Structure 1
Amino acid sequence: MKIYSHEKQKLHHPKSYFSRGKMRQPQETPERLTELLKAPQIMGLEVTTAKEIGIEPILAVHDFDYVEFLKHGYEEWMASGEEMGEEVQTTVYMPNNNSGLGILAKAAKYQADGSAPIGKHSWTSIYWSAQTALNAADSLLNDQTHQSDIQICLTRPAGHHARKNSAGGFCYLNNAAIIAEHLLQKFQKIAILDTDMHHGQGIQEIFYDRKDVLYTSVHGNPVNFYPVVAGHEHERGYGEGYGYNINFPMPHGTDETGFFNHVDKSIEIVKLFNPDVIVHVLGFDVYKDDPQAKCHVSTQGFKTLAKKVKALNKPVIILVEGGYCIEKLNENLQAFLSGLISKD
């Protein structure tokens, strides 16, 4: 088992969060990574500092103009000559029929909602979040000894809501999609197993018409719950990708038993697909006391989840994404890691 992270992921520090009609306290904060990093330290597990892989795997998934916006949008925002605040943030959402002339138009085009502001150091963290994930993928691509069968990436900001050309849901670059695409250089079939509280509509959209990447997600029912426009059972894929997108939306208030009933169904789909590599999008926001939770998973439940993923007996890259009950992230990650280490 190998764990990756990078300190520069802490530089992104959102000041604004506009959701459901009002400004709210940002939940995707640097303290999340600080707490996550405590778990391997307490357990005596080494954390490897991610090395730079480069921009090319990112551009294999995301539009060039969109990546340029993420990288340079803050500079353009501050150079506009207007008093517009300290973050790139918009209340105008116009992705279509938008020529992107001016930073306000670009924000309207590339920011899908009010939860993904861009500050002075955001791009640095966004970039190193993707690089952290890519380190695990590169390890598998170069591994001849099968020493990299389980790899964990402590990443922020998260990625599964990011579309090819827009940010939203605290996400900017779609790490799961980036590493899945990167892995296809060597492997034939990749399965993305998403157990975050929210549906990863960005992953779904990117691979919706393809059969080389299976996407299966267990998440809260998206009716009146983020991302609201995707994640329903009838969304099965398109063209040759039909049947390779499987959603398991949970009724709000689902207990731990119900959560694992859905997870088990998702795992059976993965087994049937028989992938070469599994990418597990792990969200600690399914924890019972998380401010985003619509289900009730206990700390011990994360140990159970880890055992189920390990039992698939495939190379797996685990992307730690959601989870906003900061005071429990350390404990919950320790439970998950103990499930991976367990000999049971």
Structure 2
Amino acid sequence: MKVVYDPAQKRHYPGFFLTSGARAPNPETPARADILLSAALAAGLTQELPPDLGLAPAASVHTPEYLDFLARIFTRWQRIEGASDEVIPNIHPDRRDGAYPLSAVGQAGYHMADTSCPIGAETFTAALRSAHAAAHAAHRVAGGEDAAYALCRPPGHHAFKDLAGGFCYLNNSAIAAQALRGITARVAILDIDVHHGNGTQGIFYDRADVLTVSLHADPTRFYPFFWGHADERGEAAGLGYNFNLPLARKTGDDGFLAALDRALTRIAAFCPGALVIALGLDAYEGDPFAGLSVSTPGFRRIGAKIAELGLPTVLVQEGGYVCDGLGGNLAAFLDGFGATHRVPRSAGA
């Protein structure tokens, strides 16, 4: 299996982070990518640099207004007298169906859901290369490979079509799913990150061609708070094509795997031709966000169970933060997935 990754993704190095009203070191550091790449290579994957695919992958799921904002906002922000080193919103609209502001400050509030997605000089470049990794991994699978791993950093599943948030700018999992639509009428996205993939849900919420399924810590007391509840089933043509499985805080291996069984049953009922795994490793019992309590052997079991679907699969890296178990958790997942994953030649037709 290929690990698709570009070192240029490390150029994004956010400094600002606010948690419970207090400044703290930002956990979305370039070191995450170093640890994950080392683990992937040690697991036998071979690295491949994604080609420069321009704006097309991002434009397949994001609005041109938003992409223009991401491309130019840092330069515009620096023209403001006394501006912060990074773009950080200080005002948010109470609705998003009104006038579109002309000012950089107003647009930052409009396009950034929270303060956990600061934009620096290299943020857009890094996010675009992360999106290229996801798209290229999807193109490999579309071309006949059974699976590919996109080491995406910065991550993407909190990014809506026109809104950044939670360390995310471009929705890599959505980009991969949209690319796979070129080979099959139906694609499923399974998100196993500790946080609900609210951006992914939002992008596909009114669509019936992409099923979105998410296992995550119950958002009533956990980020992203306002999305990820069990009664969110989709709307319009997408009604019944979104399935959330919120889990009690500190849920461990057995509880997670029981929920995963329900998720996989729903995916099988959708009969997709390809699968995207939004591979968060932050459900780990030792992850700094401490939402769930999956063990390292648990990730091996999770990988093996998902692989039983036998679908062409793109693994897209989402969360999973620097801790002693990060690399081992990826290795365990890949080991379990690789030991079980077999794609019948008719799959994806």
Please classify the TM superposition score into its range, dividing by the shorter chain length: over 0.9
User: What per-residue deviation string (whole Å, max 9, x for no partner) do you get for residues 204-241 of structure 1?
Assistant: 11111111100011001001211111111111111221
User: What per-residue deviation string (whole Å, max 9, x for no partner) do you get for residues 33-65 of structure 1?
Assistant: 011011123234311111122212311211111
Root-mean-square deviation (Å): 1.4
User: For this pair of structures, how many residues does the alignment match?
Assistant: 339
Runs of 4+ aligned structure 1 residues displaced above 4 Å come to: none
TM-score by length of 2: 0.94
Q: Is this contact kept in 2: 1:98–1:105, CA < 8 A?
A: no
Partner of 1:288: 285
Partner of 2:19: 19
Secondary structure (helix, strand or coil) at the match of 1:286 reads: coil
1:139 equivalenced with 2:140 (yes/no): yes
Give, as a single letter, the amino acid of the residue that structure 1 aligns with 2:205. Y
Partner of 1:49: 49
For residues 181 and 71 of structure 1, what CA distance do their matches in structure 2 show? 22
Secondary structure (helix, strand or coil) at the match of 1:259 reads: helix
Q: Is this contact kept in 1: 2:156–2:318, CA < 8 A?
A: yes
Give, as a single letter, the amino acid of the residue that structure 1 aligns with 2:12. H
For residues 262 and 136 of structure 2, what CA distance do their matches in structure 1 show? 30
Aligned ranges 1:242-253 → 2 under 5 Å: 242-253=239-250
Partner of 2:345: none
Greater shift after overlay, 124-133 or 182-191?
182-191
Aligned ranges 1:122-161 → 2 under 5 Å: 122-141=123-142, 143=143, 146=144, 148-161=145-158
Q: Which runs of 5+ in 1 are unaligned?
A: none
Partner of 1:61: 61
Partner of 2:106: 105
Q: Is this contact kept in 1: 2:252–2:295, CA < 8 A?
A: no
For residues 337 and 133 of structure 1, what CA distance do their matches in structure 2 show? 17
Give, as a single letter, the amino acid of the residue that structure 1 aligns with 2:332. A
Partner of 2:346: none
For residues 126 and 326 of structure 1, what CA distance do their matches in structure 2 show? 23
Partner of 1:336: 333
Q: Is this contact kept in 1: 2:252–2:292, CA < 8 A?
A: yes
Give, as a single letter, the amino acid of the residue that structure 1 aligns with 2:64. F
Instruction: Work out the percentage of aligned pairs sharing the same amino acid.
Output: 39
Partner of 2:272: 275
Secondary structure (helix, strand or coil) at the match of 1:223 reads: helix
Q: How many angstroms does 1:343 deviate by? A: 5.7
Aligned ranges 1:21-40 → 2 under 5 Å: 21-40=21-40
Secondary structure (helix, strand or coil) at the match of 1:130 reads: helix
Aligned ranges 1:179-194 → 2 under 5 Å: 179-194=176-191
Q: Is this contact kept in 2: 1:35–1:327, CA < 8 A?
A: no
Q: Is this contact kept in 1: 2:89–2:109, CA < 8 A?
A: yes
User: What per-residue deviation string (whole Å, max 9, x for no partner) do you get for residues 190-211 of structure 1?
Assistant: 0000110011111111111111
Secondary structure (helix, strand or coil) at the match of 1:326 reads: coil
Q: Is this contact kept in 2: 1:285–1:325, CA < 8 A?
A: no
Secondary structure (helix, strand or coil) at the match of 2:219 reads: coil
For residues 39 and 300 of structure 1, what CA distance do their matches in structure 2 show? 15
TM-score by length of 1: 0.95
For residues 181 and 43 of structure 2, what CA distance do their matches in structure 1 show? 33
Partner of 1:212: 209
Partner of 1:10: 10
Give, as a single letter, the amino acid of the residue that structure 2 aligns with 1:56. A
Q: How many angstroms does 1:339 deviate by? A: 1.3
Q: Is this contact kept in 1: 2:296–2:328, CA < 8 A?
A: yes
Q: How many angstroms does 1:99 deviate by? A: 2.5
For residues 335 and 69 of structure 1, what CA distance do their matches in structure 2 show? 39
For residues 170 and 135 of structure 1, what CA distance do their matches in structure 2 show? 22
For residues 279 and 2 of structure 1, what CA distance do their matches in structure 2 show? 15
For residues 193 and 315 of structure 1, what CA distance do their matches in structure 2 show? 13
Q: Is this contact kept in 2: 1:35–1:326, CA < 8 A?
A: no
Partner of 1:298: 295
1:119 equivalenced with 2:94 (yes/no): no
